Amino acid sequence: MKRFTSNVIVLIATLVASSAPAFAAVDLQHTLFTEDLKQYVENDLVHYKKWKLHPEQLEKYLKSLADISQDEYEKLSKQDKEALWINAYNAFTIKVVLDHYPINGKDPYYPKNSFRQIPDAWEEYFFVVAGRRVSLYDIEHDIGRRLHDPRIHFAVVCAAKGCAKINKDAYIGKTIDAALEAQTDKFILNTQNVEFDHKQKVVRVSKLFSWFPLDFLNAVGFKTVPFPPPKDDEVVLRYIVSRSPKEVQERFKTDDDYRAYQVVYKEYDWSLNDAD
């Protein structure tokens, strides 16, 4: 009788387990990161001083990224993977800053509190995501850029005032397209990043564009690199115009209209995006 009862219990447990929905080990909402962002981000800046006092949840979030199995990762949608890597880059960058905060470097080429004052910050600090050991450089160049979505450049935050602004919410796959659209508009419509002088036929733009011109080729209609290839400045200008208000777009109807403008890259603000 005891054996029969035991077998029945095992059978019932098996049936319940098989009929219950599978537990999602991967938090596609990136809840822990969003909770921290809502607490420590204000007016596009980060309260590193306050965050440094309570890094426990960030550490827990980073561990959750490391705990994702390769099998779980492969089952993610393209959108979920894109959100994952953007969040990973932003969270790891914050981790590096917190580990060195307050930053007070001696390199005369950058502000004393700059992320650039941390030696080899992009290349020599490693983290684990889904069993993969990566640096910030790896995420940005070997993973993020290979997703072939130039809008990522306006979502990854390099802890500098000159880079993309950090949001109070983590990116999630379900809304990643709308979020990246909003981030791109926010960056390009900010006159600190893009400024047209139509009288002088000059457009002054963030130096960020000069680092990744070929990433914008597809977005401006070049499916392959033509021969001769377009100049970097032409690609940058065409992309910016395509994302500009209608009154700006109407000024650029022919190739000659684009050629008439000079692209000037602004000095990049490497000071820390610190709210304190």
Statement: residue 194 has pLDDT above 80:
yes
pLDDT digits (tens, 9 = 90+) for 204-229: 999 999 999 999 999 998 877 777 77
Q: What percent of the chain has pLDDT over 70?
A: 91
Asked if the structure places residue 21 within a domain, the reply is no
Asked if the structure places residue 24 within a domain, the reply is no
The answer to whether residues 74 and 149 belong to one domain is yes
pLDDT digits (tens, 9 = 90+) for 28-76: 999 999 999 999 999 999 999 999 999 999 999 999 999 999 999 999 9
The answer to whether residues 39 and 160 belong to one domain is yes
142 confidence band (pLDDT: 50, 70, 90): very high
Distance CA 27, CA 155 (A): 20
Residue at a domain's end among 152, 172, 188: 188
Which helix (H) or strand (E) element contains residue 263? strand 262-265
Distance CA 49, CA 131 (A): 31
Asked if the structure places residue 243 within a domain, the reply is yes
In this predicted structure, which of 6-20, 22-36, 151-165, 197-211 has the lowest mean pLDDT?
6-20
The answer to whether residues 68 and 184 belong to one domain is yes
The answer to whether residues 230 and 167 belong to one domain is no
Q: How are the residues of the chain apportioned to helix, strand and coil, as percentages rounded to the nearest 5?
A: 50, 10, 40
The answer to whether residues 161 and 236 belong to one domain is no
Which residues form the domain of 161? 31-188
79: buried, middle or exposed (CB in 10 Å: 19+, 13-18, 0-12)? Answer: middle
Statement: residue 6 has pLDDT above 60:
no
The answer to whether residues 246 and 160 belong to one domain is no
Q: How many CA atoms lie within 13 A of 58 on its CB side?
A: 25
Asked if the structure places residue 257 within a domain, the reply is yes
Asked if the structure places residue 208 within a domain, the reply is yes
Cis peptide before 230 (omega within 30 of 0): no
pLDDT at residue 228, rounded to an integer: 78
The answer to whether residues 176 and 208 belong to one domain is no
CB atoms within 10 A of CB 60: 12
Distance CA 188, CA 242 (A): 10
Query: Per-residue pLDDT averaged across 139-146, rounded?
Result: 96
Residue at a domain's end among 132, 162, 188: 188
Asked if the structure places residue 23 within a domain, the reply is no
Given a contact cutoff of 8 angstroms between Cβ atoms, the answer to whether 243 and 188 are in contact is yes
Helix (H, G, I), strand (E, B) or coil at 175: helix
The answer to whether residues 233 and 136 belong to one domain is no
Statement: residue 5 has pLDDT above 50:
no
Asked if the structure places residue 236 within a domain, the reply is yes
pLDDT at residue 198, rounded to an integer: 97
Strands 126-129 and 132-135: antiparallel
pLDDT digits (tens, 9 = 90+) for 76-105: 999 999 999 999 999 999 999 999 999 999
Q: Give me the number of domains the chain comprises.
A: 2
Mean pLDDT of all residues in the chain?
91
